[in-house]
Each structure stands twice: as structure tokens, then as C-alpha cells.
Amino acid sequence: MTQSGPGELVEVGGRMNGPRYKDILENVLLPTGRVFFPHGRIRFVQDNSSVHNSRVVKNNRMQRYLREIPGFQLITLPPHSPDMNPKENVWGILLTQRWDHTLIRNTENLRAHVVQLWEELRGDDFCANVVRSMHKLHQPTPSELLVPTSESSPSTYVECGGSGTSTPRTAGGGSSTPKTRHKCPTSRITKWVDTTVDELYVFFAITLAMGVVVKTRLEEYWNCSQDIFVTPEFTTAMRYDRFLLLSRCILFRNNETCDPSTLSRAEAKLFKVQPIIDHLNLKFSTLYVMGQNVALDKSLPMWKGWLDINQFIKNKTAAVGIKTYEVCESRTEYLWRFEVHAGHEERSDAEASPVSGVIPSIVLRLLNGLEHRGHTIWMDNFYNSPALARELNCLGFDCVGTLRTNRQFVCGCTSGDVDLVVWRDKNRVALISTNHGLATVTQCGKRVSTYCNGCNKALYST
């Protein structure tokens, strides 16, 4: 397709690959270019597909010949940018405005209808108008050539204070010095206006409501169709474009305060969200007093986007998501404290602990502030070990859970205040516990007797 009109339509049988694309360049592109542009000055646009950049295509002598033509310019589009390709816009308009589904009955009808639509483009200015619109999209006006970064990329910087108030500020995402930056006139960022505290409260309320009213796509919350799934409250509270704009620009920490030399790798990954994590942990732990039984385990909230801290755990429901370590009350499932996993690294405070290792240090950090309150901690074999159980017992915790028998110091059934029980189901299962009394149970036939370890007297028999 050219600005002067559509070229030859080529049907590719099977999957596109390097050799087929090379044949199209030699047998279709070059003759079409000579017909429409006999005097040169050709701008050849192709996307960033791996087929276009394959070794067969790059070593093709025809491409080297094209580069030697005066006025020839090869333009390779960036990744994930179909809106910058005029051909994609042409097919999009044809499918949405001119496509007739009633004519499609089989493959021959489909082929004939595509050829008909393609031939109808000849003789009018449809292709020329599409190419001109792309020129307007990519060529900024003189007033847009030099734009300060703080104006072209506004962001809402939110400070989370101890009083529970959030203060919005407009902060640049980078340096405050002016930079050359192209802005698309139709971009959502051009409609930015400063936010307020009340609007941020509405934004956070909508975010929390999405966790209660679960839908598959974000735009479905603003769907106004009159059916049983309609949620008009989202539309009345905030416009969809405004919600997307705030989601893109909101920050919880100023980028200018980041010093990479003082941060570990895990801390650098969570730098922008660490203030909100600390704020939530502070509020969760001060607003509720947990009962005796406390569970400590890991969770995997689902996350489908690109993220450096994503984890894959096949036995979890989400399978792919953000891994967190959580402390919850067993009875009410109240989340008391959580920690986001961003990589296993030994912290400086772990060296002062008598229990070495990354996992024991995570357990001690999560339970900090609950010492000597009579809590019983229930954990699985990922966390439990005899050394950790004895350390938790010294801090006033009782510890119960399964145990991996290959852990260090697993050498007997009872060792002081730590008891180990091993039984066989389908596999061998081990249990570690410090939550037990000072009694021994013996079984002789059908008679079971319980003896006190201190005075060796029978307490009761059954």
C-alpha cells in the first residue's frame, strides 16, 4: 500500500517466514515501487516483526539494492505500535466500516470479499488520507518540540503520613530540565489537570470496590448497558479516562530521593511502592488484636503484566503473580502483616539473630511485635526447623506445623521443649511442635494410660 493507492494484494499460504518475505520484497515491492515512484524518494515502513529482521532478509541483495536508490529510506517501527503503521489502520477501517459478514460462507467467499474491498480503494483518496493522518500524528508542531519533562509527564505524588491523610503533589518523573519530547495530540496525557485529595479518595475507593465486585476486564466496570451486570456507581463516581490517567501518573515516592548506591537489589525493586506497604502494615497491625492461633504462609496474588518480581508457583491458583509472605489470624483470616517477595537477600538485621538463614529472618520480621503474648504460630514445612522452633519458644511463641526431615538438627523424636512426630500416610509426614503438655501416653492393647513426667503417676486411664 502506498500514498498513491493500494498495490498488489498477495495471498500467503501458511505461516509467514523469512524466505517468503524475501520473495515478496523481490517480486512485489520492487515492481510496485518502480510503478508508483519512478524517480525514487521511497519511504519503506515495516514493523519490528522477527520475520522482517531475519538473517535471510538482511542478507538479501535486493535490500542492499534498495538502500542504494537515491531517496530511499527504511523506517522500522518500534515494538507494540500497530497504530503507527498506516496499513494496520487501513485494515482496521475496512473491517469496522466496510466489512459485510453476511457474504462470508466459505473460504472462497472470504477471499473474494477481501479482494473486492482492496480493489475498491483504487481511484479514491482513502490511502492518501490515511498516510497524511499518520504524518500529522508523528510530526509535532513547533510549540511541542521543546516541552519540559514536568509538564509533558505529570504525575501525582502521594505522601502517606501516620495521620492517615494523603497529600497529592505534581512531580516530574525525572529531571526538571527541558527535554525534546514528542506528544501525540490525541494522547490521554494532554488532558491532564491537577488532582485533589477528594478525587484521590474516590480513586482509592474505586480500586477497593474492584476487589469486591470482580469483573474480567477493566472497562466492564464502566459499562452502561442495561443488564444484570451493570455497575452505574463507577460511572457516576469517576470517568473511565480519568481513572486510567490517575493510574498511570500516581506515585508514592519522589524519584529524586532515590539513591541506588544505598539500596539493595530487592529494595530497589520495591522502592516506589514501599511507602504504601509500610503504611498498610502499620494500620493493619495497630487496628486489630489477634487471637491465640496465628497462621504464617505465602500467597500469590495474580498479576498478568510485565514485572520483575513475578513468580511462577504451579500449585497455586493464580500460578503467576506477586509472591507475598503473610501473617493472618486463623479464625477470622485477618491480614495482620505482609511482606512482598522481591528476591532472597540477607539483610543486615539478620546477622544479629541467633537463627541464621533467609527464611528464619523473614519469620522473625513478620512476627516482630507479637512476642510474649501467648500466640501459637502455625506454619508449613517451608518455614519450620528445630532451631527456629526453639528460638520462637524463647520469644514466647508456640510453634506447630509440618517439617522437612532433611533440615538441620532433626535427629530425634523429642529434644527438650521441641517434639517431633513422624507418621506414614501415603508418604512419610513429620510434625514439629512446642505446644504440648508435660505428659506421656502409653498404649498396651486396648488400655491407654497417661503419666505425668514429673512424678511418674498415672493421671487417668481409658
Over the stretch 277-296, which tens digit does the pLDDT of each residue have? Answer: 999 999 999 999 999 999 99
On the question of pLDDT at 18 being above 90, the answer is no
Confidence of residue 20 (pLDDT cuts 50, 70, 90): confident
CB 169 within 8 A of CB 159: yes
In the prediction, which pLDDT does 184 show? 65
On the question of pLDDT at 63 being above 80, the answer is no
Q: Give the other-Cβ count within 10 Å of 459's Cβ.
A: 12
Which phi and psi (to 5°) does residue 169 adopt? -135, 150
Over the stretch 197-249, which tens digit does the pLDDT of each residue have? Answer: 999 999 999 999 998 888 888 888 998 877 777 888 898 999 999 999 998 88
DSSP letters, 348-405, are GGGTTSSS-SHHHHHHHHHTTT-TTS--EEEE-TTT--HHHHHHHHHTT-EEEEEE-T
User: 195: which residues sit within 8 A by CB, 6+ positions away?
Assistant: 156, 168, 246
On the question of pLDDT at 442 being above 80, the answer is no
On the question of pLDDT at 430 being above 80, the answer is yes
In the prediction, which pLDDT does 205 show? 93
Which phi and psi (to 5°) does residue 443 adopt? -125, 125
CA 399 to each of CA 346, 377, 418: distance values in angstroms, whole numbers, following the listed order: 24, 5, 9
Integer Cα distance of 178 and 150 in angstroms: 8
Which phi and psi (to 5°) does residue 441 adopt? -110, 125
For the chain, give every domain's residue range. Answer: 18-138, 144-256
Over the stretch 164-181, which tens digit does the pLDDT of each residue have? Answer: 444 555 444 433 333 334
3-state secondary structure of 110: helix
Calculate the average pLDDT of the chain.
76
In the prediction, which pLDDT does 287 show? 93
Instruction: Return the closest-CA partner of residue 42 out of 87, 96, 2.
Output: 2
In the prediction, which pLDDT does 398 show? 92
Confidence of residue 375 (pLDDT cuts 50, 70, 90): very high
Written as nine digits, the cell of 375 is 500466640
Distance of CA 208 to the CA centre of its chain: 18
Instruction: Return the closest-CA partner of residue 432 out of 462, 395, 396, 387.
Output: 387
Integer Cα distance of 271 and 260 in angstroms: 10
